[in-house]
């Protein structure tokens, strides 16, 4: 059975724990470095990335998580978690800096500009069954970042549909993967659709 840690310093960690528990996954709310041992995977949830980064520094979590990521440990960052995984956000805040992506924070504007849009995410076909097959994934963007630049080590898993343009540009990258590191600008844990969690668990177990 997979044992999945959820970084529980700030933000939407409990929703990940609930969704994973519903999938029968054993979860650990991680607040201290010793809680990282014995895990098979780790989720860094959404929230406020500067706060999470500063708390992670204060609790001595940055170095061990960075080392795990560099050694191939499966980590998925959602929203603020994506920001923490990025190598650069153009802003002086603590980062893990382990994914070859440059991320723009708050790319869609303020909280009131939050929105939901159906996303075509081809990799989810491998975990979809029955009525899920072919159904767009509910992309929930809450003061979300986007991937401004995708380095050669990373690949895009999802792009915004053509009618959602950012600064006149269509097709912005909103989910990426690099080895067993996965990042989404949106919040699958708030949708009740468990396909992205199942996809990450499959990546972790591969």
**Active-site residue list:** 79, 187, 189
Q: Are 94 and 65 in contact (CB under 8 A)?
A: no
Q: Which stretch binds ligand GLN (CB under 6 A): 2-10, 47-55, 60-68, 116-124?
A: 47-55
Burial 9-31 (b: 16+ CB within 10 A, else e): bbbbbebbbebbeeeebebbebe
Here's the x/- map for ligand GLN, 71-110, by CB under 6 A: it reads as --------xx--x---------------------xx----
Instruction: Tell me whether residue 2 or residue 95 sits nearer to ligand GLN (CB atom).
Output: 95
Q: What are phi and psi of 166, to 5 degrees?
A: -115, 120
Smaller CB separation from ligand GLN, 105 or 195? 105
Place of tokens 């940055």: 62
126 touches ligand GLN (CB under 6 A): no
> Are the beta carbons of 150 and 173 closer than 8 angstroms?
yes
Could you give the CA distance from residue 61 to residue 10 in angstroms, rounded to a whole number? 14
Contact status: 146 vs ligand GLN (CB under 6 A): no
Taking CB under 6 A as the binding criterion, the range among 44-52, 122-130, 161-169, 191-199 that sits at the site for ligand GLN is 44-52
Contact residues for ligand GLN, defined by CB under 6 A: 46-49, 79-80, 83, 105-106, 142-143
């Amino acid at each position: 059975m997979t044992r999945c840690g959820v970084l529980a310093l700030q933000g939407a960690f409990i929703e990940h724990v609930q969704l994973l528990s519903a999938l029968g996954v054993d979860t650990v709310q991680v607040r201290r470095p010793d809680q990282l041992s014995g895990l098979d995977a780790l989720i860094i949830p959404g929230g406020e990335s500067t706060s999470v980064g500063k708390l992670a520094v204060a609790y001595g979590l940055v170095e061990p998580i960075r080392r795990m990521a560099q050694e191939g440990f499966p980590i998925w960052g959602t929203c603020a978690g994506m920001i923490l995984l990025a190598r650069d956000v153009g802003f002086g805040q603590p980062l893990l800096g382990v994914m070859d992506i440059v991320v723009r924070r708050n790319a869609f504007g303020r909280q009131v500009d939050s929105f939901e849009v159906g996303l075509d995410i081809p990799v989810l076909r491998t975990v979809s069954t029955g009525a899920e097959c072919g159904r767009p994934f509910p992309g929930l963007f809450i003061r979300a970042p986007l991937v401004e630049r995708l380095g050669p080590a990373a690949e895009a898993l999802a792009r915004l549909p053509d009618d959602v343009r950012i600064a006149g540009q269509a097709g912005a990258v909103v989910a990426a993967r690099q080895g067993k590191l996965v990042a989404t600008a949106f919040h699958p844990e708030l949708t009740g659709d468990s396909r992205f969690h199942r996809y990450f668990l499959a990546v972790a177990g591969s």
